[in-house]
Amino acid sequence: MKTILVTGSSGLIGSEVCTFFSQQDFAIHGVDNNQRATFFGPQGDTRWNQKRLADNLPHFTHHEVDIRDRKGVHDLLKTVSPDVIVHTAAQPSHDLAAQIPFDDFDVNAVGTLNLLEATRQTCPESPFIHMSTNKVYGDAPNNISLKELETRWEYDDPTYQNGIPETFTIDQSKHSLFGASKVAADVMVQEYGHYFGIPSCCLRGGCLTGPNHSGVELHGFLSYLVKCNLEECEYTVYGYKGKQVRDNIHSLDVAQFMWEFAQSPRLGEVYNLGGGKENSCSILEAFDKAAEYSGNPMKYTYTDQNREGDHICYYSDLSKMKAHYPNWTLTKSLDDIFQEIVESWQVRLAS
CA distances from 266 to 122, 153, 198, 286 (A): 19, 35, 9, 36
The mean pLDDT value for 39-48 works out to: 86
The mean pLDDT value for 292-314 works out to: 93
Query: In whole angstroms, how large is the CA radius of gyration of the chain?
Result: 19
Cβ distance 128 to 116 under 8 Å? yes
In the chain, % of residues over pLDDT 70:
100
> How many Å apart are CA 14 and CA 178, to the nearest integer?
19
Residue 291 neighbours by CB under 8 Å, 6+ apart: 229, 297, 298
In the chain, % of residues over pLDDT 90:
89
> How many Å apart are CA 11 and CA 50, to the nearest integer?
8
* CATH fold of 3-350: Rossmann fold (3.40.50)
> What pLDDT, in 10s, does the model give residues 168-177?
999 999 999 9
CA distances from 277 to 107, 151, 152, 161, 293 (A): 31, 15, 12, 9, 21
For residue 13, give the nearest of 60, 40, 49 by alpha carbon: 49
Q: Is the pLDDT of residue 113 over 90?
A: yes
Instruction: Say whether 239 sits in a helix, a strand or coil.
Output: coil
> What pLDDT, in 10s, does the model give residues 119-175?
999 999 999 999 999 999 999 999 999 999 999 999 999 999 999 999 999 999 999
Structural domain boundaries of the chain? 3-350
Considering the entire predicted model, what is its pTM?
Answer: 0.95
Cβ distance 115 to 207 under 8 Å? no
> What pLDDT, in 10s, does the model give residues 226-240?
999 999 999 999 999
Instruction: Determine the residue type at 316.
Output: S
Q: Which residue has the higher pLDDT, 351 or 237?
A: 237
